[in-house]
Amino acid sequence: MQDCKVSAGGIELGRSNCVSAIAFRGDVSGLPNQDFEILALPLLDPLYNFARWLCGDADEARDLVQETFAKALKGFASFRQGTNFRAWMFTILRNTFLTSRTGLEWRRTEQEDEENFEESAVTHDTPEIALIRRADTEMMRQAIATLPLAFREVLLLVDIEEMRYQEVADVLRIPVGTVMSRLSRARKQLREYIVVTLGVKHEM
Amino acid sequence: MKCEWRQDVSLYVDDELEPARQQEVAAHLRRCAECAAAVMEHTELKKAVRIAGRQFSAPPELHAGIGESLRSADVRPPLWRWSFVVLSIVAVAVLGFVLFSIPRRINPEIAELVDQHITTLASASPVDVVSSDRHTVKPWFQGKLPFSFNLPELTNSRFTLAGGKVVYLGQTPGAELLYEVSKHKISIFVFQARGNERAASLSNHNLAFTVNAWSQGGLRCYLVTDASKEDASQLASMFQAANRI
Ligand SMILES: [Zn+2]
């Protein structure tokens, strides 16, 4: 369930469960499909891109996006106007992914992923700016692809979708602190990949 | 050596610091080569990820499939849709007539902006950047306009952002931001303030629209809507608050 702030007169009253707040809003008339189209169609490419990075397969990504749009259209009557539509769409896509075959498989193994990562992580404090400039797009893609999914999705939402940490936390249903630690690990691992691939010994 | 400010570098690059802290870090970067290099490195990495990560676009058959499923889910009968179109045309014609039959004593700029608002409503693609997210809409204008402005946070308000586009008032480029409130549309126009600023005279106009005008922080803003006066002034004050420094 997505967390959101409830406030009045600028004072935060607390947190409530947005999904149930949406569902019981009482407004069942819904918004015209045209409004949905206007809001959702520009997100088609970003959602598909994210889906491809999640499941790594064109057919699966296509199905995932199709299902996301179907679910979103159905649920659009209950989408609360004034809230973040893009985050809402990404949340639906991500939740749909979690129930897919690849998503279930990932959830079964994600724990191992994170543990393995902890062990092999190398800290790079010195900027690798010259190396990053030498890394071409293909190498960067491979570097992103080697990231554990839990880190990759945070990195992509922050750096590609330019979401705020809080938005990412809402979409992935994790604390903001976790967003930050995964992001920094993701970036560390990218640096490591670049250093190793370009065959340069890292010297402190 | 590791500078104690280094922990803020990634937050700084991700624009996640409070504005005051962001400025402190920016000031520190002018003094500390270590942190400045770290910021450059973070920025390069972020850029590299963005370029490499935007790899896939939806295949044409997915575009087509989604378009089709949206159309087939559309339950409105065709007759209703046509009557809607006809009504829209009639409404725009009537509004246009109201507008042009209004004595010219209203400020011609205001008349032009109301006209622009009507044109936007009648357009098949009312805005060029379609997004309800101010973090998408605001950067879209960067490089397109010689000035910048902030957009209000709408979470927990009744207003939604539909998007925006660049408009011209005479030769002057500006932004039109389209908002919605209870099915009514609101346009906010933002231009750069001129040297000889004179508050637009809005008194006693007979327009079918509510128009608010204000100047602040080098910006000249106009709000045009057929929503209630209360909604108009509420959104206007939210916009003003967002641009108050
Ligand atoms: Zn420093």
Where do the structural domains in chain A lie, given as residue ranges?
A: 1-100, 103-204
CB B153 within 8 A of CB A5: no
Residue B62 has pLDDT above 90, yes or no: yes
Q: What's the pLDDT at A153?
A: 97
The chain-wide mean pLDDT, for chain A, equals 77
Of B40, B70, B132, the CB nearest to A85: B132
Average pLDDT over residues A173-178: 93
* CA-closest candidate to residue A61, choices A29, A94, A89, A33: A94
pLDDT tier for residue A14 given thresholds of 50, 70 and 90: very low
Burial of A165 (0-12, 13-18, 19+ CB in 10 A): buried
Tokens of residue B29, six digits: 């970067």
Q: Which residues contact B135 (CB under 8 A, 6 or more apart)?
A: A162, A164
What's the whole-number mean pLDDT along residues A170-190?
94
Which ranges constitute the DSSP H helices of A29-148? 33-40, 44-55, 58-75, 85-98, 101-120, 129-134, 137-146
CA–CA min distance A138, chain B (Å): 7
CA A184 – ligand 1 centroid, Å? 18
Tokens found for residue B78: 């065709």
Which position has the token pair 């204000």? Answer: B214
Best probe of the B interface among A22, A50, A144, A159, by most B CBs < 10 A, is: A159
| pLDDT higher than threshold 90 for residue A81 | no
The confidence band for A80, taking pLDDT boundaries of 50, 70 and 90, is confident
Q: Answer yes or no: are the C-beta atoms of A143 and B55 closer than 8 Å.
A: no
CATH no. of A1-100: 1.10.1740.10
pLDDT at B194: 76
C-alpha span between A93 and A118 (Å, rounded): 28
**Average pLDDT, integer, range B40-52:** 92
Q: pLDDT tens digits for B6-37?
A: 889 999 999 999 999 999 999 998 888 888 88
pTM: 0.55
Tell me the per-residue pLDDT of B212-224, one tens digit each, with 9 for 90 and over.
Answer: 888 888 889 999 8
Q: How many CB pairs below 8 Å do chains A and B form together?
A: 143
Count the residues in chain B.
Answer: 245
Looking at residue B94, its pLDDT comes to 65
Architecture of domain B107-242: 2-Layer Sandwich (3.30)
Under CATH, to which class is A103-204 assigned? mainly alpha
When CB atoms are compared, the residue of A41, A132, A158 closest to B44 is A132
Q: Hey, are the CB atoms on B55 and A42 less than 8 Å from each other? A: no
Confidence band, pLDDT 50/70/90 cuts, at residue A78: confident
pLDDT digit string, tens, across residues B164-203: 999 888 778 899 999 999 888 899 999 988 765 555 555 4
Q: How far apart are CA A50 and CA B53, in angstroms?
A: 9
